Amino acid sequence: MPGKSGRRAPRMPLLGAPSDAIDPYLPRNGNLGFRVLRYDLELEYKVTSNRLDATATLTATSFQDLRRFTLDLAGTMRVSRVGVNGKRTRYTHRSGKLAITPAEMIPPGGAMTVAVRYTGSPKPISGAWGEVGWEELTDGSLCANQPNGAASWFPCDDHPSCKAPYRISVTTDSPYYALANGTLVDKRVHGSRTTWVYQQVEPMSTYLASVQIGHYKQISLRQKPFPVRAVLPPRLSRNFEVDFDRQLDMIDAFSEMFGPYPFPGYTVLVTDDELDIPIEAQSFSTFGANHCDGSGDAERLVAHELAHQWFGNSVTLERWRDIWLHEGFACYAEWLWSQRSGGPSADECARRYYQKLRATPVRVPLADPTPAKMFDDWVYKRGAITLHALRLRIGDGNFFALIRRWTEKYRYGTATTEDFISLAANYTTEPLGELWRQWLFTPAVPPYPGTGT
């Protein structure tokens, strides 16, 4: 991608120029000329007034002579001060872009520390995928950033290929529990306010950064080989024992199938509000109270969100058109878990959803589903069946060896469909070109794998 992957020569950012689009799926997101190496977020949040006072410090390095550069930040946030390398600097903030002019040009390879002080009442960003970002709950808040909501609460280079470590400090009213990505490294009580400090050492995409605040309690589910925790309203504790009863077994099964769990710990948070769908974040997942009703009906979703820690959070798409690398893999993990836990086999699941795909054909290929359709259910299901077709072609041994190598080779990095195709070629002597052409690059639904009809 321009100015990021090194596959094109860096060029000066011309704000608003169509040619500056880093990703055609989100042409207004992402920024050129530099790369963020670390985010340090100091957040002070008042729940009752939905007031956020914050300072974001970004450590970055330039790719070129940098006289001006931009960050993504929603207009609901009011910027009061910007500094670059300790010097106060000029800036403008409009149309979701914070444009910064350093007092001195940053040379190619030059390091810079960008400090942004801002405040406001955060709210979701509206777009083609609904409202995403920082959202108020009945008594608390949550973040659901995918795909472009991170800028609703902090200035960033908002594209999934731009991964960096984070330090997130959240100060809020003491009765509330604050959860953020990574490991809790400090907690300080100052009278009526409590500060929670988290370190996310493994590089993370902006859309996976998250803060969840509510009246929650923490439950330790397991300490070895890494901590697994639940954070939830006390009233839902008994339901949680039913709905998340098999989660530890899922972790063990997925670690066997996909390779070692990629982060220092895993947390499941359940809100006191109902949510339409669970929310993916690096090192934790968020479910609504409706997913914790004691029925056990959310088991599929529990597996899906857990699988995203490997597929989406550790190994992250380099461009949004490759969303099947996240959702197809997580959906297939649901089917693998179904078979492992005594339910319908992966093949039975694939056959059932194959008939639904045939009944509702689409006119775009899986490898380029268009922005309007990239989160449609058919992308999830066709992506999963594509993996099943590959598994049937190369055999179980080669298939799972490929998946484990995929999560190892691209651990904490980004990858594309072409990367997966290239890696898969090492696990078979058979040509796979026709399989990829049919399942990834042709809109029409091909015959069910192995049937020829």
pLDDT in tens, 172-184: 999 999 999 999 9
Bridge-based pairing of strands 266-270 and 284-287 is parallel
For residues 3-7, give the mean pLDDT: 33
CATH of 216-309, one of 3.30.2010.30, 1.20.1090.10, 2.20.140.10, 3.40.50.300: 3.30.2010.30
What tokens does 377 get? 């259910």
Say if residue 14's pLDDT is above 70: no
Q: How sure is the predictor about 236, in pLDDT bands with cuts at 50, 70 and 90? A: very high
The pLDDT of residue 18: 37
CATH of 1-126+145-211, one of 3.30.420.40, 3.40.920.10, 3.40.50.880, 2.60.40.1730: 2.60.40.1730
Say if residue 15's pLDDT is above 90: no
In sequence order, which residues have a C-beta less than 8 Å from that of residue 396 and are 6 or more positions away? none
The pLDDT of residue 316: 98
pLDDT in tens, 17-35: 334 568 999 999 999 999 9
For residues 141-150, give the mean pLDDT: 98
Using only C-alpha atoms, what is the Rg of the chain? 22
Say if residue 97's pLDDT is above 90: yes
Total residue length of the chain: 453
CATH of domain 316-439: 1.10.390.10
The pLDDT of residue 218: 98
Residue 413 phi/psi, 5-degree rounding, is -120, -160
Side chain identity at residue 401, one-letter code = A
Side chain identity at residue 108, one-letter code = P
The overall average pLDDT reported for the chain is 94
Q: Which residue has the tokens 């504790």?
A: 237
The pLDDT of residue 7: 34
Q: How sure is the predictor about 450, in pLDDT bands with cuts at 50, 70 and 90? A: confident
The pLDDT of residue 21: 62
The CA distance from 177 to 217, in Å, is: 7
The pLDDT of residue 452: 54
Say if residue 428's pLDDT is above 50: yes
Q: For residue 295, how many other CB atoms are within 10 A of its CB?
A: 12
Asked whether this chain's domains 216-309 and 316-439 adopt the same fold, the reply is no
The pLDDT of residue 453: 47
For residues 93-120, give the mean pLDDT: 97
The pLDDT of residue 16: 36
For residues 200-225, give the mean pLDDT: 98
For residues 342-362, give the mean pLDDT: 96
pTM higher than 0.85? yes
What tokens does 61 get? 């390095």
What tokens does 318 get? 């380099």
8 CB-contact burial (10 Å; exposed 0-12 / middle 13-18 / buried 19+): exposed
Question: Which secondary-structure segment (H or E) carries 81?
Answer: strand 77-84
Q: Which residue has the higher pLDDT, 9 or 312?
A: 312
Smallest Cα–Cα separation from 403: which of 283, 309, 310, 301?
310
Say if residue 285's pLDDT is above 70: yes
Residue 131 phi/psi, 5-degree rounding, is -105, 125
Say if residue 268's pLDDT is above 60: yes
For residues 284-298, give the mean pLDDT: 98
For residues 180-191, give the mean pLDDT: 97
pLDDT in tens, 378-412: 999 999 999 999 999 999 999 999 999 999 999 99
Q: Which residue has the tokens 């509206």?
A: 126
Q: What percent of the chain has pLDDT over 90?
A: 93
The CA distance from 206 to 92, in Å, is: 22
Smallest Cα–Cα separation from 59: which of 43, 36, 81?
36
What tokens does 199 get? 């370190």
Q: How sure is the predictor about 4, in pLDDT bands with cuts at 50, 70 and 90? A: very low
C-alpha dihedral, 354 to 290 to 262 to 131, nearest 10°: 80
The CA distance from 211 to 43, in Å, is: 10
Query: Quick check: 81 and 114 in contact, CB under 8 A?
Result: no
Say if residue 451's pLDDT is above 90: no
Residue spans of the domains in the chain: they are 1-126+145-211, 216-309, 316-439
Say if residue 214's pLDDT is above 60: yes
The CA distance from 11 to 168, in Å, is: 31
Q: How sure is the predictor about 188, in pLDDT bands with cuts at 50, 70 and 90? A: very high
Say if residue 335's pLDDT is above 60: yes
